[in-house]
Amino acid sequence: MNPDNKKLPSDDELYNGYLKGDAKAGDELMLRYGDLLTSYLFSFIGDYHDAEDLMLDSFAAILVKKPKIGEGCFKAYLFKTARHMACRLWRKKHKQNEFSLPDDIISEEVTPERKTVIDENISSLHKCLNLIPTQYREALWLKYAMDLSYDQAAQIMACSKKKIDNLLANGKKTLRKELEREGITRYEI
């Protein structure tokens, strides 16, 4: 929460400010989305250093080229740019996608016993996510881990909103089956 109770500028306000010469606005966008974008990229390529490099390259592509971005679309445009770069790197290295959860998903206030159970559940979730089709995994990641809207996820995956809806429904169904095979029935999917 903002300590001064000031309204934080929107992505559009920051990007437009950057286009008008305010370098600090570009820095603010990087602070706002840098970690989240790195986590997203890490889910593709499985290498944190490459993910960081791609995150910086994605911001550089936007902040140097200064493309026209529709209102309310900066985050989706950024993630789509990053996705394209990750796909190019993936093809270049001929590696398979991997899904990973951010390290900070567990609160420090959790008891050691509870943390062990959570770690086991996360490990099972990770394993099950890697067993489902890549498109399902990516749609689930974009919607639930990245908290993007259906429209934004569709824009990033270059498909229709209806296809995202279908991918999410099928992805949840498939993931639920895999989790049940692992003996986990309490995940709310």
Which pLDDT does position 186 carry in this prediction?
63
pLDDT band at 3; cut points 50, 70, 90: low
Which pLDDT does position 49 carry in this prediction?
87
Q: Note whether 127 and 85 are same-domain residues.
A: no
Specify the DSSP element, H or E, that contains 168. Answer: helix 161-181
* Total number of domains constituting the chain: 2
Q: Residue 97: is its pLDDT beyond 70?
A: no
Residue 90 lies in a domain: yes
Dist CA 42 CA 39 (whole Å): 5
Instruction: Please give the average per-residue pLDDT across 98-120, as a whole number.
Output: 57
Dist CA 144 CA 146 (whole Å): 6
pLDDT (tens digit, 9 = 90+) per residue, 116-159? 766 677 777 777 888 888 888 888 888 887 788 888 888 888 89
Average model confidence (pLDDT) for the chain? 81
pLDDT band at 103; cut points 50, 70, 90: very low
Which pLDDT does position 7 carry in this prediction?
85
Query: What is the end-to-end Cα distance of the chain in Å, rounded?
Result: 29
Specify the DSSP element, H or E, that contains 77. Answer: helix 74-93
Domain housing 114: 109-189
Q: What are the Cα distances from residue 189, in Å, to 41, 93, 122, 169, 176?
A: 23, 33, 14, 10, 7
Instruction: Please give the average per-residue pLDDT across 86-106, as a whole number.
Output: 56
pLDDT band at 10; cut points 50, 70, 90: very high
pLDDT (tens digit, 9 = 90+) per residue, 30-47? 999 999 999 888 877 778
pLDDT band at 107; cut points 50, 70, 90: very low
Which pLDDT does position 32 carry in this prediction?
93
Q: Find where tokens 């099972």 sit.
A: 124
Q: Note whether 90 and 42 are same-domain residues.
A: yes
Specify the DSSP element, H or E, that contains 127. Answer: helix 112-131
Q: What are the Cα distances from residue 120, in Å, to 98, 113, 117, 183?
A: 18, 11, 5, 12
Task: Return the CATH number at 70.
Answer: 1.10.1740.10
Dist CA 89 CA 67 (whole Å): 22
Q: Note whether 49 and 69 are same-domain residues.
A: yes
Which pLDDT does position 181 carry in this prediction?
83
pTM comes to 0.56
